[in-house]
Amino acid sequence: MKLISLIGARPQIIKEAILNQELETEGIEEILVHSGQHYDFNMSDVFFKVLNIKKADYNLGIGSGTHAEMTGKTMIEFEKVVLKEHPDIILVYGDTNTTLAGALVGSKLKIPVAHVEAGIRQEPKDMPEEINRVLTDRISKYLFCPSKLATNNLKKENITEGVYFTGDIMYDLFLKMKPHFDESIINKFNLEENKYIVTTIHRDFNTDNKSNLEAILKELDKISKEIKVVFPIHPRTKKQTKKFDLEQYTKNILMIEPLDYLSMMGLVQKSLFVITDSGGLQKEAYFAGKRAIVVMPDTGWRELTDAGWNILSRPDEIKDKMNCVINDTIDSKVENIYGDGNAGKKIVSYILNDFNSSLYF
Ligand code: UD1
C-alpha cells in the first residue's frame, strides 16, 4: 500500500508527526508532500526539527497568495506528483487551502481521500477554513473525526459513510511529547509561573479588519498593565499591525517570534490562561488544564465552550472575559472529549482494514 500525505501549514505539520510514526510502524509506504503554504523557518522547518519528522519528498513551493492562487497552484503541482507516484490513498489534514486542494486532486483522479479532522463546523460559514472543511468532507472517502460532535455534524449533513470517531491526533501528540515540553522557556523570557498569559491571533477576520485588530490590541494593552502578556506573533498579524499603524498598542506586550511546538507547549503549561483565535491552541490549552478566551464569533470546538471551559469573546470584550476566567471557578475539567490518545493508530488501522478488504471483489 502506498499513501501520500499532503501538508502545508503549521498545524498540519504537527499532525503529521503522529501519523508518520504509525504508518512506519505498520510498514505503509508514505510519500510526504509539503505544499509550501507556510515557508518561514518558524512556521515550518522548526516543526520538522523538533518533532523529528522526515524531510518532505516533494515541496511544491506554493507560498502565499490569494485563496484561488494558493488552491489552484497547489492543485496543479500536486496533481503532477500524484500522477507520478500512483498512490492508493491521499491523506489531508484540517482546513487549509492545502487541504482542499489535495482533496480535489485526489477525488478527481478517483483516488480515495482520507480527511483527518473531519466534521468540524463553525460560523461564519464564509470563513475560508469553513469553506475548506465543508468541501473536503463532501469529497473524502474516509472521514476521521476528532470528537463525537464532529460525527454528529456530518450526520446532520447526511454524511454517514466512511465516518469514524478516532479522537484527536493533536491529543496523541500532546501526550507523547509532554515529557519534552520546554518549560525553561519561561526563564528565557523572565516569566513567572501562573503570572502571565499567552496569546495568539491570526484569523483573517481578526487581522484583516482594522477595527477588530485595533480592538484586540487595545484590550491586550489594557490587560498587559495588570498581567504580563506574551504574544508569539504570526507573520500575517505582524504585517497587519504595521499596515494599520497599531504598533503603539504593543509596547507593553512581550512580542516574540512564533514558537516551535515544544516551546509553545512549555509556555502554555506554565501560563495562567490563554487568549487565542487558533483552533489548535484553544484545545491544547484544555489539554494542558488551562482555560482559553477564544476571540471568535463561534468555534469548531464547541464542546469546550458549551462546558464553560473556554469562553468566546468579541474583540472589544476580552478584558471583561478575562475577569470571568479569573473570578469564576469551574468545577472540574471536562474529560475524554478527544479520545484516548490513540487516534493515529485508529486512523491507520481503519485505512489498512478497508484497503485489505477492497483487494477482493
Ligand atoms: C492558515 C490556515 C488556517 C490555519 C493557519 C495556521 C488557510 C485558509 N488557513 O492560515 O486554517 O489555522 O494556517 O497558521 O489555509 N505568512 C508568512 N510566512 C509564512 C506563512 C504565512 O509571512 O510562512 C504570511 C503571508 O503574508 C500570508 C499570511 O501569512 O499571506 C497568511 O498565511 P496563510 O497560509 O494564507 O494563512 P494563515 O493565516 O497562516
| pLDDT tens figures, 216-237 | 999 999 999 999 999 999 999 9
Confidence of residue 153 (pLDDT cuts 50, 70, 90): very high
Q: What are phi and psi of 5, to 5 degrees?
A: -105, 130
Q: What is the CA radius of gyration of the chain?
A: 20
**What is the pTM for the complete model shown?**
0.95
pLDDT at position 106, please? 98
Work out the mean pLDDT of the chain and round it to a whole number: 96
Angle (CA) 163-303-103 rounded to 5° is: 35
Q: With beta carbons less than 8 A apart as the criterion, state whether 297 and 312 touch.
A: yes
Whether the predicted pLDDT of 332 surpasses 70: no
Q: Write out the three cell numbers for 324.
A: 470571568
- d(CA 87, CA 109) in angstroms, rounded, equals 11
Whether the predicted pLDDT of 14 surpasses 80: yes
- The residue nearest atom 5 of ligand 1, judged by CA position, is 9
pLDDT at position 354, please? 87
Residue 97 Cα to ligand 1 middle (Å): 9
pLDDT at position 355, please? 86
Return the number of other C-beta atoms located less than 10 Å from residue 247's C-beta: 12
pLDDT at position 336, please? 77
Q: Which of 62, 64, 95 to mutate to test the pocket of ligand 1 (most atoms within 8 A of CB)?
A: 64
Residues paired with 312 in a beta bridge: 294
**Catalytic: 115?**
no
Whether the predicted pLDDT of 65 surpasses 80: yes
pLDDT at position 327, please? 85
Closest by Cα among 32, 83, 26, 78 to 54: 32
Q: The cell 484544555 sits on which residue?
A: 286
pLDDT at position 333, please? 62
pLDDT at position 356, please? 85
What are the residue ranges of helices labelled H in the chain? 10-25, 45-50, 67-85, 97-108, 128-139, 148-156, 169-177, 185-188, 204-207, 210-224, 235-243, 261-269, 279-287, 302-306, 318-327, 343-357
Overall average pLDDT of the 323-331 stretch: 81
Residue 361 Cα to ligand 1 middle (Å): 44
Percent of the chain with pLDDT over 70: 98
Q: Which atom of ligand 1 is nearest to the CA of 234?
A: 29
Overall average pLDDT of the 321-339 stretch: 81
Q: Between 336 and 233, name the one with better pLDDT.
A: 233
Residues paired with 255 in a beta bridge: 231
Of 34, 38, 115, 202, which one is the catalytic site residue?
Answer: 202
Overall average pLDDT of the 142-151 stretch: 97
pLDDT at position 209, please? 96
List, for residues 242-273, the tens digit of each pLDDT value.
999 999 999 999 999 999 999 999 999 999 99
Compute CA distances 57 → 3, 23, 81, 241, whole Å: 12, 15, 10, 36
Residue 43 Cα to ligand 1 middle (Å): 9
Q: What are phi and psi of 230, to 5 degrees?
A: -110, 125
Q: Which of 35, 98, 126, 234 to mutate to test the pocket of ligand 1 (most atoms within 8 A of CB)?
A: 234
Backbone CA torsion sign across 90, 96, 98, 100: positive
Q: Which of 12, 38, 99, 205 to mutate to test the pocket of ligand 1 (most atoms within 8 A of CB)?
A: 38
- The residue nearest atom 22 of ligand 1, judged by CA position, is 235
- Residue 52: left if φ>0, alpha if ψ -120 to 50, beta else—which one? left
Angle (CA) 186-187-190 rounded to 5° is: 85
- The residue nearest atom 14 of ligand 1, judged by CA position, is 10
- The residue nearest atom 19 of ligand 1, judged by CA position, is 38
H or E stretch including 230? Answer: strand 228-232
Overall average pLDDT of the 76-87 stretch: 98
- The residue nearest atom 34 of ligand 1, judged by CA position, is 37
Residue 359: exposure state from Cβ atoms within 10 A (0-12, 13-18, ≥19): exposed
Q: For residue 216, what are the contacts with CB-CB under 8 A and spacing of at least 6? A: 201, 206, 295, 315, 318
Whether the predicted pLDDT of 335 surpasses 80: no
List pocket residues of ligand 1, CB cut-off 6 Å.
Answer: 9-11, 37-40, 43, 64, 95-97, 128-129, 202, 235-236, 239
- d(CA 25, CA 21) in angstroms, rounded, equals 6
pLDDT at position 331, please? 63
Q: What are phi and psi of 30, to 5 degrees?
A: -115, 125
Whether the predicted pLDDT of 328 surpasses 90: no
Q: Which atom of ligand 1 is nearest to the CA of 65?
A: 30
Residue 282 Cα to ligand 1 middle (Å): 18
Q: Which atom of ligand 1 is nearest to the CA of 280?
A: 12
pLDDT at position 275, please? 98
- The residue nearest atom 4 of ligand 1, judged by CA position, is 96
- The residue nearest atom 26 of ligand 1, judged by CA position, is 236
